[in-house]
C-alpha cells in the first residue's frame, strides 16, 4: 500500500533519534507508561506522548489504562504490533503511519478507550461463553439497546454466532466466532464494522 499523503520518506539514518529510542524502549518494555518511556529514553513528555498517540491510532499500541492527573503522563500502553527494528513513521498531517519494516501504511483510526462500553463488551466476548444483550449490558455497563446494536452489527459482519431465542430479541444469545485481536472493532453509526487489528501472518 502506498504511503499516505504527508508521510515522510526518511531512511533509518535520517529518522529522529528520539523516535528510534522510543520505539526501542516500547519493544523492550512491551507494557509501559509515557513516564516510563521518558525515563528510558530521556525524551520530553511532549515527544513521548505524541508518538504514543500516533502509534495508538495506527494500531501499534493498546491503551490499557487512562490515568488521572496530568493528561497522558501515566497512561498505560501495551505494544500489540511489534513489526520490527525500524520505528514506524507517522504522516505529518496525521492521516496514518508508514511501517518501514513491512512496507505497509496504517491509517489513523478512531480509538475505543479501555473503559468504553464497547471495549468492555468485546473483552467479555473474547473471554468466552455466550451473552444476551441484557447480560452484556449489565456486565459492560451499557444500555440494552446499545448492547443489542453492537451485537447485531458484529453478528452481521461475521464476528459472532447467533442463536435465536424463540424469535424474541431479548433471548437471542451471541458468541464469538472471529477473535481478531485485542482491539474492539469500530461500529459506525450506520452499522458498518471496521477491523482495527492486524491480520495474523
Check whether 13 has a pLDDT greater than 50.
no
Q: Are 123 and 103 in a shared domain?
A: no
Q: What pLDDT band is residue 135 in, cutting at 50, 70 and 90?
A: very high
Q: Are 36 and 72 in a shared domain?
A: yes
Work out how many domains the chain is built from and give that number. 2
Residue 145 lies in a domain: yes
- Average pLDDT over the chain reads 82
Q: Are 23 and 101 in a shared domain?
A: yes
Residue 90 lies in a domain: yes
Average of pLDDT values for 29-36?
A: 92
pLDDT at position 112: 54
Identify which of 17, 29, 20 has the alpha carbon closest to the alpha carbon of residue 77: 29
Over residues 86-118, the pLDDT tens digits come to 999 999 888 889 999 999 998 887 665 555 788
Answer with the one of 82, 107, 132 that is the final residue of a domain: 107
Q: Regarding beta strands 89-90 and 96-99, do their DSSP bridges make them parallel or antiparallel, or are they unpaired?
A: antiparallel
Residue 112 lies in a domain: no
Q: Are 139 and 91 in a shared domain?
A: no
pLDDT at position 22: 96
Answer with the one of 107, 140, 172 that is the final residue of a domain: 107
Q: Are 60 and 139 in a shared domain?
A: no
Could you list the residue range(s) of the whole structural domain that residue 97 is in?
17-107
Separation between Cα atoms, residue 41 and residue 64, nearest integer Å: 21
Q: Are 149 and 167 in contact (CB under 8 A)?
A: no
pLDDT at position 65: 76
Q: Are 104 and 20 in contact (CB under 8 A)?
A: no
pLDDT at position 11: 38
Residue 1 lies in a domain: no
Q: Say which CATH number the domain at 69 has.
A: 1.10.10.10
Q: Are 121 and 150 in contact (CB under 8 A)?
A: yes
Residues of the chain with pLDDT > 90, as a percent, come to: 43
DSSP 131: B
pLDDT at position 189: 76
pLDDT at position 111: 60
pLDDT at position 200: 52
Check whether 1 has a pLDDT greater than 70.
no
Answer with the one of 107, 135, 170 that is the final residue of a domain: 107
Q: Are 42 and 85 in a shared domain?
A: yes
∠ at Cα 185 (184, 191), nearest 5°?
135
Q: Are 99 and 26 in a shared domain?
A: yes
Burial of 99 (0-12, 13-18, 19+ CB in 10 A): buried
pLDDT at position 70: 61
Q: Are 89 and 24 in a shared domain?
A: yes
Q: What pLDDT band is residue 6 in, cutting at 50, 70 and 90?
A: very low
Q: Are 95 and 129 in a shared domain?
A: no
Amino acid at each position: 500500500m502506498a504511503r499516505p499523503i504527508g508521510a515522510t520518506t526518511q531512511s533509518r539514518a535520517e529518522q529522529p533519534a528520539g523516535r528510534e529510542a522510543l520505539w526501542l524502549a516500547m519493544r523492550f518494555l512491551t507494557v509501559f507508561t509515557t513516564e516510563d518511556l521518558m525515563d528510558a529514553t530521556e525524551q520530553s513528555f511532549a515527544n513521548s506522548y505524541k508518538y504514543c498517540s500516533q502509534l495508538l491510532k495506527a494500531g501499534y499500541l493498546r491503551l490499557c489504562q487512562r490515568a488521572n492527573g496530568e493528561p497522558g503522563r501515566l497512561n498505560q500502553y501495551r505494544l500489540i504490533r511489534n513489526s520490527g527494528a525500524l520505528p514506524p513513521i507517522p504522516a505529518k498531517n496525521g492521516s496514518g503511519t508508514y511501517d518501514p519494516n513491512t512496507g505497509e501504511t496504517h491509517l489513523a483510526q478512531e480509538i475505543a478507550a479501555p473503559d468504553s462500553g464497547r471495549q468492555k463488551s468485546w473483552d467479555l466476548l473474547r473471554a468466552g461463553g455466550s451473552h444476551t444483550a441484557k447480560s452484556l449490558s449489565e456486565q459492560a455497563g451499557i444500555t440494552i439497546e446499545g448492547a443489542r446494536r453492537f451485537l447485531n452489527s458484529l453478528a452481521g459482519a461475521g464476528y459472532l454466532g447467533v442463536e435465536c431465542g424463540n424469535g424474541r430479541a431479548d433471548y437471542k444469545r451471541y458468541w464469538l466466532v472471529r477473535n481478531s485481536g485485542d482491539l474492539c472493532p469500530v461500529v459506525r453509526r450506520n452499522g458498518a464494522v471496521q477491523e482495527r487489528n492486524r491480520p495474523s501472518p
